Amino acid sequence: MTSRSDERLWRWTLALLVAAGALTAFAPALGNGFVDWDDGLYIVRNPAIYGLGLKNFYAMLTDFRGGLWQPLTWLSFALDHAVWGLEPCGYHLTNILIHAATALLFYGVCLRLFKLAAPSLADDDRAAGAALAALFFAVHPLRVESVAWATERKGLLAGFFCVAALAAHLKAARAPRRGARWEAAGLACFALSLSAKGMGMTFPVVLLILEIYPIGRLAADPRKWLKPPSRRVLVAPLYYLILAAAGALLNMAASIDQGTIKDIGSLGSAWRVGRILYGLCFYPSKTLWPAALAPLYPPRPWFGLWSWELFACAIAVAACAALLWRWRRSRPWLAAAFACCAVLVSPMLGFFQQGHLYAAGDRFSYLSCLGFAAIFGAAFARAPRAARVLALAWLAMLGAASWRQCAVWRDPVDFWAQTYERAPGELALANWAGSLIETGRGRDAVPLLERGLAAYPKFALNYLNLGVVRSDLGDQAGARVEWRRGLALSPTPDIEARLGLSLVQSPGRQFDEGAKLLEAAVLQNPGEASWRAELAEAYARGGLLDPADHEFAAAVSLDPHLGRAWNNWGLALARRGDAGGAMLRYRAALCDIRTRAQANHNMGNLLLDQGRLPEAERHFREALRIDPGLAEAQINLGNILARRGRYAEAAARYRIALKNDPSSTQARANLTAVARFLPR
C-alpha cells in the first residue's frame, strides 16, 4: 500500500465485502416463517417477550423456559416483538444482522491475530487473509441453522459477545496501560454472552491457548505460569473462569428445574465415548465438505457398541492429535487453531445431555468453526493472487449452498420432510407427521405414522399424533385407544394432557380419570399455560369452582395473551351469575385474534340477557365480521332484528345459520316463526 489512507480504504473495502457476503448468503431466510422446533416455546407462546415492563424483565431474569438461563435472548425477542409483533421476517432480519456483525468483529480479531502470528506479513496481505477468514465463517452452510432458525438467536448473541470479548482481550494485551479498561469491557461482553447461552463457557481456556500462541505472554510449559511475569497474565483468564462457572451453575439449575437433563450414564460408556469421538470427527469433516446438512442428527446406530466405527473415529482423532503435536513448533498456528476448536466444541460433545438425544448439531459449530476459518484465512494470506481467486470461488460456492439451505427452514412441513430425508430418525418422522396434522392435512400424515409405528414401535410420539388424527376425524374412542398405547410406553405430559382433555369432555364416568391425567401433565410441566387452562375448564365443568379460578388465573398469568383461557374463565363466571367478572374476562380475550370472534359473541350474549340490545347487536355483528360461520351468533342477531320488527333481515340471518349448521333446530324454529310476518 502506498499510504496509510490507502491501507485504511483497503481494510474498509474488505469489511464491506465481509458484511455483504453474510447478508447475501442468508437473505432467503427473510421469507421463512416459524418452525415447530422450539419457535413456539421461545417466541410464539412465550409471554415473557410480550412487553418491556418490569414484570417482563423479572420474567426474563427468572424464567428457565427450555431448561436454559438466557435473559439476554428473551430481551432481544421482546425488542423484536415490540417492533414486529409475531411477524417472522423481523426476527430473521435481526438474526442476519447479528451474524453479519459477528463476522465483522471476527475480521477485526483476525487482523490482530495475524499481525501477532506473522509480523513480517504485508498489511494488504494480512487484511486479505483476515477477510477470507471472516467470509469463510460468515457464508459457510454450517451457519444456516444458527441464522435461519429464529430460536437460535441465543447462539448468535452468545457468539457475538464471545468474539467481542476476544477483541477486547486482544486490545488489552496490545495496550497494557489501558489494559484494565479493555479487560473490564471483555468481561462484560463475556457475561452478556453467558446470559444469552452458555455455549462459551470454555472460552477462558481459549484465552490461555492464545496467550501461548500467538500473543506469547505465556510459555508452552504450564509449570512456568506461576512465575511473576506469567502470574499477572493469568488474572484475566481467572476472572473469565469465575464468570463461566457462574453461568454453568445457573444453566445447571435451569436444566434441573425444567427436567431437561437426561441421564445417559445408563446407555453405557461405549455410547458416550462413541458420541464424543463422532463429534470430534463430524465438525471438521462437515466444515471441509458441508454435504447432507440436517437440523437434527439422530444418534448413530453404532453408538453403544465397541464397533469398528468407534475405533475408526478414535484412530482418526488420535492421528490428528499426533500430527498437530508434531507440528506444534513448526506450525504453531495450526495446533493453536485446532486446540481452540476442540475446546469450544467440547461442551456440546455430550458429556452432559440436555433434551433429545442427538449425535451432533450444525449450530454447535458457530464458535468452534472460528479456528478453522482462521486457518483458511492464514493459508491464503501469503498465497498468490490466483490462489486467492480460487479461494473466493470456493467461498462463493459455500455461500450459494447456504442460500439453498435456508429453504429447509421455510415452514414446518418442508423442515421436517427434508430433515427426515437427510438424517432419518424416529423424531424427524413423527414431527413430519405432526406438522402435517397442524396444517390440517391429517389424512396425509397417516401413512407417515404407519411407517413410524412399523419402524419405531416403542416411540410414543407416533401414538400421540395418530390419536390427534383420529380425534380430528371425530373418532374420539379411537383417539383414546392410541393415546393409552402411547401412555403405556411413555407417560409424557403431552399424551396425559390430550387423553385427559378427551376424557373430561366425554359423557360417562371418565371425568375423574381425565382430571387426574390433566393434573399429572400440569404437575410435570407447570409452565404450560394451555394445559392449565384445560385443567381449569375441567374443574369448572365438574363444579370445582375455586380450583378452576386458581388454574385460570395461573394460565393467564403464564400467558396473558391466551384468549381461550380468558374466554372460558368468563363463561365459568357467567354460569355462576358473576356478569361483571365475566365481562372483564371476555374483554381480555379480545387480545387474542384466535378467540376474538367467540369473545364478542359471548359479550353479546351477556348483554342480551341484560336487555342491552344495541350493545349486544354491535358485538354480534363484530363476531360475525371476524367469523361469519358462527351459527349461534347469526341466530342471536336474528332474534334482535326480529324484536325490532325487521323480519326479512332476521329471516336472512336464520337462513345463514342453517347453511352453517343444518342441524340447528333453533334456527329452523325461529325461521318458521318469522316466516308468517314476511310478505307472500
Q: What is the pLDDT of residues 128-175, one digit of tens each?
A: 999 999 999 999 999 999 999 999 999 999 999 999 999 999 999 887
**Per-residue pLDDT at 5 exceeds 80:** no
Cβ(49)–Cβ(77) under 8 Å? yes
Q: What is this structure's pTM?
A: 0.85
CATH 1.25.40.10 region(s) of the chain?
595-680
pLDDT at residue number 261 = 67
Q: Which of 237, 205, 208 is nearest to 220 (CA)?
A: 208
pLDDT at residue number 222 = 83
| Helix-, strand-, coil-residue percentages of the chain, each rounded to 5 | 75, 0, 20
Integer Rg of the chain from CA: 30
State mean pLDDT over 527-550: 85
Distance CA 535, CA 522 (A): 8
Q: Give the distance, in angstroms, between the CA of residue 67 and the centroid of all CA atoms in the same chain.
A: 12
Percentage of the chain exceeding pLDDT 90: 39
pLDDT at residue number 1 = 45
Place of cell 476476544: 166
Written in H, E and C, the secondary structure of 63-102 is CCHHHCCCHHHHHHHHHHHHHHCCCHHHHHHHHHHHHHHH
Average per-residue pLDDT for the chain: 88
**Per-residue pLDDT at 680 exceeds 80:** no
Q: What is the pLDDT of residues 74-102, one digit of tens each?
A: 999 999 999 999 899 999 999 999 999 99
Cβ(568)–Cβ(552) under 8 Å? yes
Q: Looking at per-residue confidence, does 508 or 599 come out higher?
A: 599
pLDDT at residue number 265 = 64
Cα distances (Å, whole numbers) of residue 214 to 115, 170, 514, 520: 9, 11, 65, 57
Place of cell 511475569: 229
State mean pLDDT over 358-383: 92
Q: What is the pLDDT of residues 449-505, one digit of tens each?
A: 989 888 888 888 889 999 988 888 888 888 899 999 988 988 888 888 888 888 887
Cα distances (Å, whole numbers) of residue 136 to 334, 550, 605: 16, 54, 63
Determine the Cα angle at 411 with ends 405 and 417, to 5°.
Answer: 70
pLDDT band at residue 264 under the 50/70/90 scheme? low
Q: Read off the DSSP letter of residue 359.
A: S
Amino acid at 449: L
Sign of the torsion formed by the C-alpha atoms of 325, 330, 332 and 337: negative
Does the domain spanning 595-680 belong to CATH 3.40.630.30? no
State mean pLDDT over 349-367: 82
Q: Of the segments 370-374, 504-508, 554-558, 653-657, which one has the largest average pLDDT value? A: 370-374
Distance CA 410, CA 30 (A): 9
Distance CA 540, CA 644 (A): 36
pLDDT band at residue 667 under the 50/70/90 scheme? confident
pLDDT band at residue 59 under the 50/70/90 scheme? confident
Distance CA 183, CA 165 (A): 8
Distance CA 645, CA 542 (A): 41
pLDDT at residue number 37 = 86
Dihedral over alpha carbons 422, 426, 429, 435 (to 10 degrees): -120
Amino acid at 490: S
Q: Which of 83, 85, 59, 86 is nearest to 73 (CA)?
A: 59
Determine the Cα angle at 412 with ends 406 and 415, to 5°.
Answer: 45
Q: What are the backbone dihedrals phi and psi of residue 262, each rounded to the nearest 5 degrees, phi first?
A: -100, 145
Q: What are the backbone dihedrals phi and psi of residue 261, each rounded to the nearest 5 degrees, phi first?
A: -80, 130
pLDDT band at residue 668 under the 50/70/90 scheme? confident
State mean pLDDT over 348-369: 83
